[in-house]
Amino acid sequence: MSFLPLGLDAKILKAVQEAGYTEPTPIQSAAIPPIIGGHDVIGIAQTGTGKTAAFTLPILTKLAAQPGGPGRGTRVLVVAPTRELAVQIEENVRIYSKHLPLTVATVFGGVGEGPQIRALRGGANVVIACPGRLLDLMGRQCANFSNVKYLVLDEADRMLDMGFLPSIRRIVQQLPKQRQTLMFSATLSKEIEALTHEFQRAPKMVRMGRCSNPVETVTQLVYEVPKHLKTPLLLHLLRGPEMNMVLVFSRMKHGADRIARQLEQKGIRQATLHSNRSQNQRLRALKDFKSGAVRVLVATDIAARGIDVDGISHVVNYDFPMHAEDYIHRIGRTGRAKAIGDAISFVTPEDRGELRALERFIGRGIVRKRADDFNYSAAAPAPHPDDNKRQFTHQQSQGSPKRNAQSRRSNQPSPSHRAGSSNQERSGQQRRRR
Ligand code: AMP
């Protein structure tokens, strides 16, 4: 099926063709007609399925249909949980609207507010925002949303998990009642259903398969490995020339930094993405990864949320994810829009219970693989003379090992850990296990 029968505006069709898309993805085929028809839509789809275009293309079509174009003033508000996602939505909107006279702005924390205030006051047609900074600027009368016709809540489940519901309520209360509201979520839960009742009118549901299904084109593999051999195994696998664009997931920020150092020591160019890095450092890391300047990007779950990078060849779960949903999101970074990718998970003896829980969640077993020519019985390296000292300092800053084990079981961060996390990362760690 081509894009033609979907009723998109000719200028948008042209941009879509220039982007190299030949046919709509299933979520696009299902969501575009009802959105053009003026319905509220709740779309249940993971990232990587083409959901951004599924809401952007029909909204742009409707804006293009207005006589005289959109004019000045904000018509579309997209609310997204993270800065990275907001930037990526913006990139998509700019690609699809390149033949339309539209102005687009992003609003999120961690960067100077001056340009954002100017863009809001200038009446940018499409505003893509994270809740915190948006609410702040709305409270200071920097935005005029009295003509907003389209509201999109993207990754609604993640916004709930991150504790953004009160902010979203306050934002939505200040929008016109007469509007079309679109909501996208990777999962459908009671909380999400409650949101549809709160914010939408008679929404049409568009659901892409079971939400626990990982993207089909991803080959999933498990490597069982003792904890002390995770880095040697990663280095061993990275010798394969097919591993040309690799996203490595670490659970913790300090773990991501450690992996990055170890790769750097072996001459492997990498970048890191986590919430302790400045916004500029994070954007730089993404840019270098996208351009191929670095082959490996080491990231934590929250920071990598919604990463939209084409051509990721491998996702490596260096640390096994704590939640099955994180696994689905992590491996959805590869195999995007029909590309083929591999998702490799390192599983230590301590992770076996979580692996079993994941296999139950996705409804199938994951293939176990052993790396060729890798010495699985290598001894743990002798402790570095400074290690005792380091461990002591580390425990002081992270809480005791016993406390950490408890907090992992109860899925609560230790108090000192809480103190060191950004809001977004912190609330992600406090997420309920579903
Ligand atoms: P998303 O799920 O919105 O994060 O999109 C995942 C990726 O698929 C993005 O890199 C898009 O550029 C790409 N994409 C979206 N729609 C299509 C399509 N119809 N054909 C090919 N690629 C697409």
Tell me whether residue 356 is exposed, middle or buried, using C-beta atoms within 10 angstroms of its C-beta: 0 to 12, 13 to 18, 19 or more: exposed
Mean pLDDT score of the chain:
83
pTM: 0.59
Structure tokens at 140: 């200071």
Residue 422: is its pLDDT beyond 50? no
The pLDDT tens digits for 238-279 are 998 888 889 999 999 899 999 999 999 999 999 998 877 787
Task: Considering only CA atoms, give the Rg of the chain.
Answer: 22
Mutate which of 6, 336, 338 to test ligand 1's pocket (most atoms within 8 Å of Cβ)? Answer: 336
Q: What is the per-residue pLDDT for 385?
A: 54
Of 130-139, 142-151, 201-210, 308-317, the poorest mean pLDDT is in 201-210
Dump pLDDT digits (tens) for 50-100: 899 999 999 999 999 987 777 789 999 999 999 989 999 999 999 999 999
| pLDDT tens string 117-150 | 999 999 999 999 999 999 999 999 999 999 999 9
Kindly give the pairing relationship between strand 150-153 and strand 204-207: unpaired
**Is pLDDT at 426 greater than 70 in this prediction?**
no
Q: Answer yes or no: is the C-beta of 337 below 6 A from any ligand 1 atom.
A: yes
Helix%, strand%, coil% for the chain, nearest 5: 45, 15, 40
Residue 200 CA, ligand 1 centroid: distance in Å:
26
Ligand 1 centroid distance, CA of 299 (Å): 22
Q: Is the CB of 25 under 6 A from ligand 1?
A: yes
CA distance linking residue 132 with residue 175, whole number of Å? 16
**47: closest CA among 287, 315, 284?**
315
> pLDDT over 70 for what percent of the chain?
82
Instruction: Point out the least confidently predicted range of 104-108, 142-146, 290-294, 421-425.
Output: 421-425
Atom index in ligand 1 nearest the CA of residue 88 equals 4
Phi, psi for residue 282 in degrees, rounded to 5: -70, -45
Q: CB of 17 closer than 6 A to ligand 1?
A: no
The pLDDT tens digits of the residues spanning 347-377 come to: 999 999 999 988 887 777 888 999 999 999 9
- Is the pLDDT at 170 greater than 50? The verdict is yes
Position 413 pLDDT exceeds 60 = no
If you measure from the C-alpha of residue 309 to the centroid of ligand 1, how many angstroms do you get, rounded to a whole number?
Answer: 10
Residue 48 Cα: closest atom of ligand 1: 2
Residue 236's H or E segment, with its range, is: helix 230-238
Q: Are strands 246-249 and 314-317 parallel, antiparallel or unpaired?
A: parallel
- For range 162-177, the mean pLDDT: 95
Is any atom of ligand 1 closer than 6 Å to the C-beta of 315?
no
Q: In the chain, what are the domains?
A: 4-207 (3.40.50.300), 218-368 (3.40.50.300)
Q: What is the mean pLDDT of residues 298-315?
A: 77
Q: Is the pLDDT of residue 423 over 70?
A: no
Task: Give the pLDDT score at 217.
Answer: 63
Alpha carbon of 48 to ligand 1 centroid (Å): 6
Q: Does residue 46's CB lie within 6 angstroms of at least one atom of ligand 1? A: no
Contact residues for 426 (Cβ-Cβ < 8 A; gap 6+) = 413, 418
Flag whether pLDDT at 433 surpasses 50. no
Confidence label for 115 from pLDDT (cuts 50, 70 and 90): very high
What's the average model confidence in pLDDT over 377-386? 69
Instruction: Report the atom number in ligand 1 closest to the C-alpha of 22.
Output: 20
pLDDT value for 210: 41
Q: Is there an atom of ligand 1 within 6 Å of 308 CB? A: yes
Residue 225: its pLDDT value, please?
96
Q: Whose CA is nearest to atom 5 of ligand 1?
A: 50
Q: How far is the CA of 284 from the centre of ligand 1 (A)?
A: 22
